[in-house]
Chains A and B, each alone.
Chain A
Amino acid sequence: KAGVTQTPRYLIKTRGQQVTLSCSPISGHRSVSWYQQTPGQGLQFLFEYFSETQRNKGNFPGRFSGRQFSNSRSEMNVSTLELGDSALYLCASRQGVGTEAFFGQGTRLTVV
């Protein structure tokens, strides 16, 4: 079956702009989590959605937001981009609590 799909794969934005990233989970998976990965900080949890509800949120400013649609597809939005937001953004889908996470290929965001 198809894996987790993230679009776009690469993005270049300028400071102050906003960006929307998309994630389509594996069919049947209702949990979608978002992570930011940087060389210095590793994988940092952003938030998780399950059945269109945000279940948990990591320690990120309010500029980072997300949502999930009825078909489990998820989007995350970052407003007022800063240089420090440059990172690989990974989406992971899971079937349920405690099960393995399957990652998409990620979106490489560069803020200039």
Chain B
Amino acid sequence: QKEVEQNSGPLSVPEGAIASLNCTYSDRGSQSFFWYRQYSGKSPELIMFIYSNGDKEDGRFTAQLNKASQYVSLLIRDSQPSDSATYLCAIPASGGSYIPTFGRGTSLIVHP
């Protein structure tokens, strides 16, 4: 059974700061990872995808993957109040398992 752990937060950061969101996973065989953002009352939307060790940057977002330590993180630079949401880490289905596994999410609050 794959497990994904996230600190539920809330993580509160001032506007313009770097927000760091972390996720650990139990399945060493996991090859790729997704980050979803979910605004209150809305459905999750994909914001980042990473499958290689190291960093992947997309605008203000950077995903970092460390397979040896089994963690993946999401950095948001120059945080804006509009970034306030819950961020979900997910391991997609792979191999013989068709079940993508989601963490419970970290609530991020960016205050002006």
Contacts and interface: CB of A to CB of B under 8 A. Distances in A.
Contacts, number: 56
Interface string A23-37: 000000001010100
Interface in B89-112: 90, 92-94, 97-105
A48 interface: yes
Contacts of A58: 99
B32 interface: yes
A100 B34 contact: yes
B45 interface: yes
Contacts of A63: none
B17 interface: no
B94 A97 contact: yes
Contacts of B99: 33, 45, 48, 56, 58
A42 B105 contact: yes
Judged by DSSP, the binding face of A is strand
| Size category, A interface | 20 to 34
A32 B88 CA distance: 19
B49 A100 contact: yes
Contact of B43 (A55, A56, A97, A104): A104
Contact of A97 (B42, B98, B105): B98
Contacts of B46: 100-102
Q: Which 7 A-B pairs have the closest CB atoms?
A: A42-B104, A103-B43, A43-B102, A55-B98, A98-B92, A56-B98, A97-B93
Interface of B: 31-32, 34, 42-46, 49, 88, 90, 92-94, 97-105
